[in-house]
């Protein structure tokens, strides 16, 4: 357990995780106090949140917005990703990749001008934040496709379009799930930010900003733990879904 | 000695050269493969290209498969196709430049689409073959039974052993159709028992059609000699850059082709030694 590259059983790993989380919580409980609320207070705040309908409504609003943003992001990413193998469209795809260096500050006003309402503004900001990262990951997968995959298509007499379908569209479908899984964190991180820009529709981000405004740290941390828990749950769900839809990823 | 005759040219390689970064890899490659006819028998051709590691065998393999174009020279194959001649008569064959897809290619690592089951991969290949239209499933059943892989039809490549992957690759390329089958180092990394099975399997394939032509690229000289009717040696000539065909050995002339216990013959050992000296 203390040697590099030592292989341990999955059960042992789970025990390690459990015990380290317990130790961290204990340390937090003992060392906390003053401004930082201890876990017991956060737990209490979480209990209060879960019993209110307000929390569930806001959570559903956020989940709906995230789902919508992810759906459109994947659609745009796939479109640009598939098109990137055609030289004519490669510059546009590469530009999208470089857009990940842009910051939203200053562009929010432009997006506000271009959007019809608050909902559209939030969605477009999320897309602006998610798509470049998804496209970067997907393009990297396409670029690292072993040449033998294309060559096998050639030896079987496939046309270039048939090769694109077989190697990229069918062959990389499972990896789209992995890309979404890896980048979901960005969507989840951004949701709180964009919801703060337009609070009228609510959402977990708006709720957090409200609690933050009154320095209600137990509720802020409780919301953070919900965000973390949902993120982990979504990560696990996508992993399970990937194995179920693409059984070959298990081997 | 077995009676045989050499007929039409099936593959013609003329003055093929290839360079990388101005370094000559292959130079003036020139050879041809002819249809070998044995009276009363359906007999394909088995040709081996042997040479030392790093001599350019894989580059030549890629050129022959049409996956890469040579810097100069031409590689032409004889295609079965009715062509009307100037005088109104019809010729059933024509010679044309090799294209990707003309040759069945078995890569050294028996690469398969990881996302397709064996059955799906074979079905995709069978659908490319017009001669199998409507009979794809039957053909798959026949081949998988013959090559002893019918139990793994619903498995993915990652779940197959190396031997099974090799057989599936061969079936896939056979189902696709075509007269040529190119194999890159098919004997490397095989144990003695599996090696015998692979040799037997390749002989079976070569006997499946008169025009079926197997081109084996290998550095395993003894096995290459044991299975082939002709051996081409890829080597270097003193003072010249790049590799070329330095020798062609007709194993039929020496009575070494199509013999089961050929490895026991004295002339076999002498031929293997002779080839080694050429490398």
| pLDDT above 90: percentage of residues in chain A | 55
Q: A34 lies in a domain?
A: no
Helix (H) or strand (E) holding A143: helix A118-143
Q: Do B158 and A151 touch (CB under 8 A)?
A: no
B114-166 pLDDT, tens digit per residue, is: 999 999 999 999 999 988 999 999 999 998 998 889 999 999 999 998 888 98
- Tokens for B101? 């897809």
| Chain A residues touching B126 at Cβ < 8 A | none
Mean pLDDT of chain A: 90
Residue B99's SS3 state is coil
Exposed, middle or buried, A173 (CB in 10 Å: 0-12/13-18/19+)? middle
pLDDT in tens, A158-205: 999 999 999 999 999 999 988 988 888 888 888 888 888 778 788 888
Is-contact B65 B75, C-beta < 8 A? no
The whole-number average pLDDT for the span B177-190 is 86
What is the domain range of residue A104?
Answer: 42-250
The Cα B186–Cα B224 span in angstroms is 10
SS3 state at B125 = helix
Q: Does residue B199 lie within any of the structural domains? A: no
Instruction: Return the pLDDT at A181.
Output: 86
Confidence at residue B180, expressed as pLDDT on a 0 to 100 scale:
93
* Residue A150 within any structural domain of the chain: yes
Total residues found in chain A within this entry: 251
> How many angstroms separate the Cα of B63 from the Cα of each of B29, B34, B180, B219?
11, 19, 14, 18
Instruction: Using pLDDT thresholds of 50, 70 and 90, give the confidence band for residue B24.
Output: very high
Q: How far apart are CA A149 and CA A123, in angstroms?
A: 37
pTM: 0.83
Give the model confidence (pLDDT) of B29-62 as tens digits.
999 999 999 888 888 999 999 998 889 998 999 9
Structural domain total, chain B: 1
Q: Does some domain include residue B148?
A: yes
Residue A1 lies in a domain: no
pLDDT value at residue A33: 67
**Residue ranges of E strands in B147-267:** 180-184, 213-218, 230-236, 243-250
Answer whether residue A26 is part of any domain: no
CATH number of the domain at A87, please.
1.10.3720.10
Q: Tell me, what DSSP letter sits at residue A78?
A: H
Whether A24 maps to a domain, the answer reads: no
Give the count of alpha carbons within 13 A of A204, CB side only.
Answer: 26
* Nearest alpha carbon to residue A28 among A43, A48, A13: A43
Q: Among B169, B166, B174, which Cα is nearest to B207's?
A: B174
The secondary structure element, H or E, covering residue A75 is helix A53-83
Beta bridge partners of B218: B50
Backbone dihedral angles phi then psi of residue B52, each to the nearest 5 degrees: -70, 165
Q: What would the mean pLDDT of B221-230 be, rounded to a whole number?
A: 92
Domain housing B148:
110-177
Q: How far apart are CA B155 and CA B117, in angstroms?
A: 5
| 3-class state of residue A21 by DSSP | helix
- In total, the C-beta contacts within 8 angstroms joining chain A to chain B are 56
Asked whether residue B69 is domain-assigned, the answer is no
**Tell me, what's the pLDDT at A200?**
79
φ, ψ of residue B197 in degrees (nearest 5):
-65, -40
Least CB–CB distance from B111: residue in A152, A158, A246:
A152
| Strand, coil or helix: B21 | coil
What residues in B contact A170, CB-CB < 8 Å? 115
Residue B215: per-residue pLDDT: 96
Percent of chain A with pLDDT over 70: 99
The answer to whether position B269 is within a domain reads no
Asked whether residue A4 carries a pLDDT value surpassing 70, the answer given is yes
Rounded to a whole number, what is the distance in Å from the CA of A192 to chain B's nearest CA?
38
Question: Using CA atoms, how far apart are residues A48 and A109, in angstroms rounded to an integer?
Answer: 37
The verdict on residue B128 lying in a domain is yes
Domain count, chain A: 1
Strand locations in B38-110, DSSP E? Answer: 45-50, 72-84, 90-97, 103-106
Residue B259 within a domain: no
Q: How confident is the model over B190-199, as a mean pLDDT?
A: 79
Tens digit of each residue's pLDDT (9 = 90 or more) over B4-19: 888 889 999 999 999 9
Interface of B with A in 49-68 (CB under 8 A): 65-67
Evaluate if residue B1 carries a pLDDT over 70.
no
Q: Which residues of chain A lie closer than 8 angstroms to B176, CB-CB?
A: 155-157
Evaluate if residue B66 carries a pLDDT over 90: yes
Residue B162 lies in a domain: yes
Query: What whole-number percentage of chain B has pLDDT above 70?
Result: 99
Rounded CA separation A207/B142 (Å) = 66
Query: Which stretches of B155-206 are DSSP H helices?
Result: 162-176, 192-206
Residues B156, A251: C-beta atoms closer than 8 Å? yes
User: A5 lies in a domain?
Assistant: no
User: Residue B130 corresponds to which tokens in the numbers above?
Assistant: 């017009």
pLDDT at A103 over 90: no
pLDDT of residue A16: 95
Buried b (16+ CB within 10 A) or exposed e, A49-79: beeeeebeebbebbeebbeebbebbbebbbe
B22 part of a folded domain: no
- What pLDDT shows up at residue B71? 95
Percent of chain B surpassing pLDDT 90: 57
**A8 found inside a domain:** no
Asked if the model's pLDDT at residue B198 lies above 90, the reply is no
Q: What would the pLDDT profile of A144-155 be if each residue is shown by its tens digit?
A: 999 999 999 999
Q: From A175, A104, A84, A85, select the one nearest A137 (Cα to Cα).
A: A175
């Amino acid at each position: 357990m203390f040697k590099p590259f030592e292989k341990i059983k999955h059960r042992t790993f789970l025990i390690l995780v459990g015990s380290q989380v317990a130790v961290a919580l204990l340390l937090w409980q003992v060392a906390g106090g003053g401004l930082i609320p201890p876990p017991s207070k956060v737990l209490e705040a979480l209990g209060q949140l879960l019993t209110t309908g307000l929390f569930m409504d806001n959570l559903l609003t956020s989940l709906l917005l995230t789902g919508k943003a992810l759906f459109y992001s994947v659609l745009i990413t796939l479109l640009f990703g598939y098109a990137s193998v055609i030289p004519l469209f490669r510059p546009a795809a590469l530009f999208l990749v470089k857009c990940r260096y842009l910051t939203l500050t200053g562009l929010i006003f432009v997006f506000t001008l271009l959007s019809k309402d608050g909902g559209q503004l939030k969605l477009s900001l999320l897309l602006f934040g998610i798509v470049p990262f998804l496209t970067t990951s997907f393009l990297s997968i396409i670029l690292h496709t072993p040449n033998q995959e294309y060559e096998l298509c050639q030896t079987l007499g496939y046309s270039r379009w048939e090769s694109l379908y077989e190697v990229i569209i069918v062959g990389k479908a499972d990896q789209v799930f992995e890309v979404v899984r890896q980048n979901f964190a960005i969507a989840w991180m951004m949701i709180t930010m964009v919801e703060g820009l337009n609070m009228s529709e609510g959402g977990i981000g708006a709720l957090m900003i409200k609690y933050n405004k009154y320095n209600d740290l137990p509720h802020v941390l409780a919301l953070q733990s919900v965000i973390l828990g949902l993120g982990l749950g979504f990560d696990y769900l996508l992993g399970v879904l990937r194995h179920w839809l693409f059984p070959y990823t298990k081997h | 000695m077995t009676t045989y005759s050499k007929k039409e040219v099936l593959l013609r390689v003329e003055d093929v050269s290839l360079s990388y970064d101005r370094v000559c890899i292959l130079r003036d490659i020139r050879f041809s493969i002819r249809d070998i006819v044995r009276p009363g028998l359906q007999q394909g051709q088995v040709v081996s290209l042997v040479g030392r590691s790093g001599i350019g065998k894989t580059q030549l393999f890629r050129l022959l498969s049409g996956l890469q174009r040579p810097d100069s020279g031409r590689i032409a194959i004889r295609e079965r196709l009715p062509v009307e001649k100037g005088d109104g008569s019809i010729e059933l064959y024509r010679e044309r430049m090799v294209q990707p897809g003309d040759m069945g290619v078995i890569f050294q690592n028996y690469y398969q689409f990881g996302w397709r089951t064996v059955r799906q991969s074979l079905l995709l290949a069978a659908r490319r073959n017009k001669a199998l239209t409507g009979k794809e499933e039957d053909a798959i059943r026949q081949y998988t039974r013959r090559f002893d892989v019918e139990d793994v039809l619903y498995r993915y490549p990652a779940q197959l052993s190396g031997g099974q992957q090799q057989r599936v690759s061969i079936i896939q390329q056979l189902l696709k159709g075509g007269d040529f089958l190119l194999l890159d180092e098919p004997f490397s990394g095989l144990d003695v028992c599996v090696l015998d099975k692979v040799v037997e399997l390749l002989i079976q394939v070569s006997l499946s059609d008169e025009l079926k032509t197997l081109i084996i690229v290998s550095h395993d000289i003894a096995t290459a000699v044991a299975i082939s009717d002709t051996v081409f040696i890829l080597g270097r000539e003193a003072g010249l850059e790049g590799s070329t065909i330095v020798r062609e050995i007709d194993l039929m002339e020496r009575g070494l082709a199509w013999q089961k216990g050929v490895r026991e013959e004295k002339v076999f050992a002498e031929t293997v030694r002779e080839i080694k000296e050429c490398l």
